[in-house]
Structure 1
Amino acid sequence: MFLAMRAAVEETLAATLDRLGYPTDDLGIEQPPDDIDAVLASSAAFRLAGEAGAPPPKVAAEIADAFDAADCQYIDRVDTQGPYLNFWPSEQYFEHVLETGQDDDYGALPDRETSVVVEHTSANPTGPVHVGRARNPIIGDAVANLLDYAGYDVERHYYVNDAGRQIATFTWAYETFDESELPEPERESPEYEMVRYYRKANTYLEDEADEAEIEAAEAEIQSIMQGLEAGDEAAYERVSEVVDTVLDGMYATLKRLPATFDEFVKETRFMRDGSTDDVIERLKETEYAVYDEDAWQLDLPDIDKNLVFVRGDGTSLYTTRDLAHHEWKFDNFDEAVTVLGEDHELQARQLKSALEILGNDTDRLQTVHYSWVTLPEGGMSTREGTGVDLDDLLDEAIARAREEVEDRLDDRIRDDDLTEDDIDRIAHQVGIGAVRYDIVSKQPTKGITFEWERALDFEAQSAPYVQYVHARASGILAEATDGEGINADQAVTELDSRALDTPSERELLRQIARFPAVIETAADDLHPHAVATYTREFAEAFNAFYRECPVLDAPADKQGARLALVVAARQTIGNALDVLGIEAPDSM
């Protein structure tokens, strides 16, 4: 509804400017400031002041006088505040908000008939997912959800590095060391059991092996890499045994977030099908290819560091194979989005430049970079086994959330309404939600130090604060259904928005109406944190309504309309949380 109203305002404003003889290329449509209750504003008068030879406030008044609200669906009137035009919604608009806001798919935009592949996480399969990298699957999953709501046909991919030196070293270690030489695993899970071999390899090669043992190990590691490069099936099977086992465990952790994938795409795929070799040959033929320091490199324009794409021993590199991978994406999808850590910014620039040299349209490729998540305890490193694993963080989140929930329960609620299973469910929803929300609510490029007190604060910008809105709305509806004199089913039909005439009711209506536009803008910018910001603002509006406007004890002429408003609010916040990948509890 908000999108339809905005389109109507844009069309009518453009026609108005045209009648007045003004250009219509920039309408300046924007959100009004918080102290203005209008739903849209225009700053066009700033742009037109020079052409009109008059100050912006006078130009704005001229446009407002010429704007015929009767020609603009869902707009009741237009007025000015200084140089701004403010557009006020009609009652018909609010009635449509009440009606459409109750739809299960409210906020979802029309099908764009555009396919997009979102690649995220793609952590090397060398051990458990650790907290520092947790931002990738959380942001990536939210971006994919957001694009899905925005009308794209989305696939979620995990690109598996199964051909690099780390994996060859891992495979050698798995085949070399006996389990008796390893410490006990930190958890009974495949990746925790397997990572012991990788850590043992690093310790052995750096601190324990003599020169001859290192030379023998390096020869076998190189043999594995060469075998993969040559398409040797035996080498591939050796590596796959290690990689697939670790991936199974990592995926189980990621599903706890939850972050799921449509496909795990292995980089060896592009070695075995010949596409990496094809990329290498095409790159060698370009004017940017140079052979220097025993390696083939690209001297990329506007990038200081050359891109090495073939080593002196003839083996390809990760980025070389990723070039083939991205050309495969372009062949199979209309657009591609990749979520990468800030340490991959140079690699992403090199990749994009090389893709352009190969003749690809890189406007179809967008990258979301993120900074690290740290804990107050300090840094993390999977390689050395000193990191904080994501499993540990999630376990702690659930345990702390359970404590918080139990502290808020009195004996009557515990005995009459919530079972132990209910408490476990709520603790899981709140705990996992707290981790996700705290991470996704920040701009990706800003570093995060994860703090429990902030993440689990029921009164601040946090998952529990927002989840409480859904729980409160669900509680009202449950009680309404069981009570007398009011029926939750009436909410679908009793849509008289004129009964919702208090400031808090109107503000909640406006927040519900904004949701589709928030989805559109956030998707265009690939900013899921904008949806998180919206949920906080929505929660503030709902809580004001909750304090000031009783529903079950409302006057008879307001009960139906307020109940309809609660239904629409519950649906809206539930869908907004769904975009963020956070569960919406029915009770808390």
Structure 2
Amino acid sequence: MFLSLRAQAAEALEEALSALSLPTGDLGLEEPPEDVEAILASSVAFRLAGEAGRAPPAVAADLVEAIDVAGYDYLAGVETQGPYVNFHASDAYYAGTLGDAREETYGRLEPTGREVVVEHTSANPTGPVHVGRARNPIIGDSIARLLEFAGDDVDRHYYVNDAGRQMAVFTWAYETFDEDDLPEPEREKADYDLVRYYREGNRFLEEADESEVEAAESEIQSIMQGLEDGDEAVYERVERVVDTVLGGMRESLSRLPAEFDEFVKETRFIRDGSVDDLVARLKELDEAVYEEDAWQLDLPDFEKNLVFLRSDGTSLYTTRDLAHHEWKFEQYDHAVTVLGEDHKLQAQQLASALDLLGNDTGQLDSVFYSYVNLPEGKMSTRAGTGVDLDDLLDEAVERAREEVEVRMDDRIRDDDLTEGDIERIARQVGIGAVRYDIVSKQPSKAITFEWDRALNFEAQSAPYVQYVHARTCGILDEAERAGHGPETVDSGEVDPDLLDSPEERDLLEVIARFPAVVESAAGDRQPHQVATYTREFAETFNAFYRERQVLTGDEALTEARLALVASARTTIANALWLLGVEAPESM
């Protein structure tokens, strides 16, 4: 509804500008400043003051004089406040919001017809997912949800590094060492089982005598060469290790949740000839040079050359990724890649090389993030290997469970929740707290995850927002027991004029803005905008809940307020879904 109102305001403003012989251009339509009482404001008078030869407040007054809102369903009036042109919403706008927001699909935008691939996580399959990299699947999954909600047809890809030296070392180690010589796995999970071989292999290469290392390196090199030469037996050896570790990693990622439509392997582009074709085309470029026993691209905007082929004829990760990206450009209209900030230079060089090869790099978007840190001493590490994602999620659920049990004791309502309810809420709140705390920050900013903040039921956190959804469910359940069933709440036969208090209008307005938040966050690839919206939403709903009783002696008013609560429930549930955070029905 807000998008429709904005479109009507834009049309009315453009007509007024044309009538005054002023350029349209940027209309400056935005949310009003906090001290401005309006649903939408335009700051266009600032831009036009010089051209009009008048002060911004005078230009705004001229525009208001020229604007006619009579033909627009959702505009009730327009006025100035200093330099701003302020638009007010009609009753039809509020009625439409109440109707739209009770639909389960509320906030979804019209299909764009655009096919998009979002590649995220893509951690090397050398062991369990580490906490420091947890931001990638959380941001990536949220971006994919946003783009899908905004109308794109989205595929989620994990790009698997199965052709590099690390996987050759892993395969050699798995085939070389006996399980009896390894420590017990930290968990009964495939990735924890196999990572022991990888660690033992690296220890051996660092500590063994020179002749043993030379023999090992010869075997490792033969694996890498076998992959490059298309040796099917070598592929199968490496694939056995890669797929087993990936299976364990997928289990961990699914807890977030972060699911994938396809795991695209590097070796695919070696085996189908794409890498050979790419190398041949790269060698023909004017920027291609053979220096220091390797083929390289001398990219003009970078101090360091991009190496794409070793002297022994083996390709590099970046070479295979170039072939991968050309494949993505053939399959999709747009490609989004989520990367750690340490990959920024590599991504820039890759884009430059793709451009030289004649690709439209406007199809490519890279989203960079800083890593997640943990406060010193807050979580234990095992054998100096750091903190795994599984550790973080287990502790999140346990801490959430403790919080739920404390709150049960405080309210003396132990019989309200079963053991199964407690487990469900602990999982929803605990994992939701981790995900929300991470996704709510701008990706470029480094963050330190802190339990007290993430699990604070009273502050701007996942539990604080989740509790709003649970409260809406509780209100509607109570209403149903009082005879106001879904057929009443969802009928649409309510009078929005009855919702005339500041708290009710504020809640309606924040509900109405949800589709615009989806549009903006998807366009900017910034899911933290949705998190910011959910905090504002929670504060606005809580103000309504404190000041306005929903079940009253006035039947018409009760039904209007129940429609408002139902609209709030749908809106916050969909906003939380975009963030990958569950919306509990009770807490």
**TM class by smaller structure:** over 0.9
Question: AA paired with 1:3?
Answer: L
Whole-Å separation in 2 of the counterparts to 1:153 and 1:372:
29
Whole-Å separation in 2 of the counterparts to 1:382 and 1:21:
69
Distance verdict in 2 for CA 1:201–1:385, change over 3 Å: farther
| SS at structure 2 position matched to 1:553 | coil
| SS at structure 2 position matched to 1:409 | helix
Whole-Å separation in 2 of the counterparts to 1:15 and 1:100:
29
Question: Which digits, 9 at most, give the CA deviation of each residue in 1:440-459, with x for residues without a partner?
Answer: 00000101110000000011
Question: AA paired with 1:498?
Answer: D
Whole-Å separation in 2 of the counterparts to 1:425 and 1:301:
56
Q: Where do residues 549-560 of structure 1 align in structure 2 (5 Å cutoff)?
A: 549-553=548-552, 555-560=554-559
Report deviation, 1:383: 12
Question: AA paired with 1:67?
Answer: I
Whole-Å separation in 2 of the counterparts to 1:536 and 1:100:
22
Report deviation, 1:12: 1.3
Question: Which digits, 9 at most, give the CA deviation of each residue in 1:75-111, with x for residues without a partner?
Answer: 1011111111111100110000000000100000000
Whole-Å separation in 1 of the counterparts to 2:132 and 2:126:
15
Whole-Å separation in 2 of the counterparts to 1:256 and 1:458:
22
Question: Which digits, 9 at most, give the CA deviation of each residue in 1:503-539, with x for residues without a partner?
Answer: 1110000000000000000001000000000000000
Report deviation, 1:274: 0.4
Q: Where do residues 174-253 of structure 1 align in structure 2 (5 Å cutoff)?
A: 174-207=174-207, 209-253=208-252
Aligned residue in 2 for 1:108: 108
Question: Which digits, 9 at most, give the CA deviation of each residue in 1:211-254, with x for residues without a partner?
Answer: 00000010000000000000110110010010000000000000
Q: Where do residues 337-416 of structure 1 align in structure 2 (5 Å cutoff)?
A: 337-377=336-376, 385-410=384-409, 414-416=413-415
Aligned residue in 2 for 1:152: 152
Q: TM-score, normalised by structure 1?
A: 0.98
| SS at structure 2 position matched to 1:69 | coil
Aligned residue in 1 for 2:448: 449
Indicate if the aligned counterparts of 1:99 and 1:495 stay in contact, CA closer than 8 A. no
Indicate if the aligned counterparts of 1:504 and 1:548 stay in contact, CA closer than 8 A. yes
Comparing 411-420 with 196-205, greater Cα deviation is found at 411-420
Report deviation, 1:385: 5.0
**Gaps in structure 1 of 5+ consecutive residues:** none
| SS at structure 1 position matched to 2:513 | helix
Q: Does 1:489 align with 2:487?
A: yes
Q: Does 1:93 align with 2:93?
A: yes
Question: Which digits, 9 at most, give the CA deviation of each residue in 1:118-137, with x for residues without a partner?
Answer: 00000000000010000000
Q: Where do residues 275-294 of structure 1 align in structure 2 (5 Å cutoff)?
A: 275-294=274-293
Whole-Å separation in 1 of the counterparts to 2:472 and 2:301:
55
Indicate if the aligned counterparts of 2:494 and 2:556 stay in contact, CA closer than 8 A. no
Aligned residue in 2 for 1:130: 130
Report deviation, 1:414: 4.2
Whole-Å separation in 1 of the counterparts to 2:198 and 2:378:
20
Q: Matched residue pairs, number? A: 586
Indicate if the aligned counterparts of 1:132 and 1:380 stay in contact, CA closer than 8 A. no
Aligned residue in 2 for 1:540: 539
Q: Does 1:60 align with 2:60?
A: yes
Q: TM-score, normalised by structure 2?
A: 0.98
Whole-Å separation in 2 of the counterparts to 1:381 and 1:19:
69
Whole-Å separation in 1 of the counterparts to 2:370 and 2:136:
9
Report deviation, 1:411: 8.3
Aligned residue in 2 for 1:41: 41
Question: AA paired with 2:101?
Answer: G
Report deviation, 1:381: 13
Aligned residue in 1 for 2:142: 142
Whole-Å separation in 2 of the counterparts to 1:498 and 1:576:
27
Report deviation, 1:496: 1.1
Question: Which digits, 9 at most, give the CA deviation of each residue in 1:525-575, with x for residues without a partner?
Answer: 000000000000000000000101111236333101000000000000000
Report deviation, 1:305: 1.3
Q: Does 1:24 align with 2:24?
A: yes
Report deviation, 1:16: 1.0
Question: Which digits, 9 at most, give the CA deviation of each residue in 1:191-213, with x for residues without a partner?
Answer: 00000001101111112x10000
Whole-Å separation in 2 of the counterparts to 1:379 and 1:204:
32
Aligned residue in 2 for 1:324: 323
Indicate if the aligned counterparts of 2:294 and 2:310 stay in contact, CA closer than 8 A. yes
Question: Which digits, 9 at most, give the CA deviation of each residue in 1:380-422, with x for residues without a partner?
Answer: 9999852100001000000000010111114876444311100
Q: Where do residues 301-312 of structure 1 align in structure 2 (5 Å cutoff)?
A: 301-312=300-311
Whole-Å separation in 2 of the counterparts to 1:240 and 1:542:
52
Aligned residue in 2 for 1:517: 516
Distance verdict in 2 for CA 1:379–1:118, change over 3 Å: farther
| SS at structure 1 position matched to 2:159 | strand
Indicate if the aligned counterparts of 2:374 and 2:448 stay in contact, CA closer than 8 A. yes
Whole-Å separation in 1 of the counterparts to 2:553 and 2:291:
80
| SS at structure 1 position matched to 2:349 | helix
Indicate if the aligned counterparts of 2:534 and 2:572 stay in contact, CA closer than 8 A. yes
Report deviation, 1:39: 1.4
Indicate if the aligned counterparts of 1:199 and 1:383 stay in contact, CA closer than 8 A. no
Question: AA paired with 2:154?
Answer: V
| SS at structure 2 position matched to 1:14 | helix
Whole-Å separation in 1 of the counterparts to 2:246 and 2:35:
51
Whole-Å separation in 1 of the counterparts to 2:140 and 2:383:
26
Question: AA paired with 1:75?
Answer: L
Indicate if the aligned counterparts of 1:12 and 1:71 stay in contact, CA closer than 8 A. no
Distance verdict in 2 for CA 1:587–1:554, change over 3 Å: farther
Q: Does 1:475 align with 2:442?
A: no
Aligned residue in 2 for 1:69: 69
Question: AA paired with 2:61?
Answer: A
Distance verdict in 2 for CA 1:58–1:93, change over 3 Å: same
Report deviation, 1:379: 12
Whole-Å separation in 2 of the counterparts to 1:563 and 1:413:
29
Distance verdict in 2 for CA 1:384–1:422, change over 3 Å: closer
Whole-Å separation in 2 of the counterparts to 1:271 and 1:253:
29
| SS at structure 2 position matched to 1:291 | strand
Aligned residue in 2 for 1:173: 173
Whole-Å separation in 2 of the counterparts to 1:464 and 1:310:
51
Whole-Å separation in 2 of the counterparts to 1:543 and 1:34:
19
Report deviation, 1:378: 7.3
- Alignment identity in percent? 68
Report deviation, 1:33: 1.5
Whole-Å separation in 1 of the counterparts to 2:35 and 2:566:
27
Question: AA paired with 2:43?
Answer: S
Q: Does 1:268 align with 2:281?
A: no
| SS at structure 1 position matched to 2:295 | strand
Question: AA paired with 1:24?
Answer: T
Whole-Å separation in 2 of the counterparts to 1:378 and 1:287:
54
Distance verdict in 2 for CA 1:302–1:382, change over 3 Å: farther
Report deviation, 1:287: 0.5
Question: AA paired with 1:122?
Answer: S
Distance verdict in 2 for CA 1:76–1:153, change over 3 Å: same
Indicate if the aligned counterparts of 1:128 and 1:382 stay in contact, CA closer than 8 A. no
Question: AA paired with 2:359?
Answer: N
Report deviation, 1:494: 3.0
Whole-Å separation in 2 of the counterparts to 1:487 and 1:33:
39
Whole-Å separation in 2 of the counterparts to 1:508 and 1:182:
60
Aligned residue in 1 for 2:427: 428
Whole-Å separation in 1 of the counterparts to 2:154 and 2:383:
36
Comparing 142-151 with 373-382, greater Cα deviation is found at 373-382
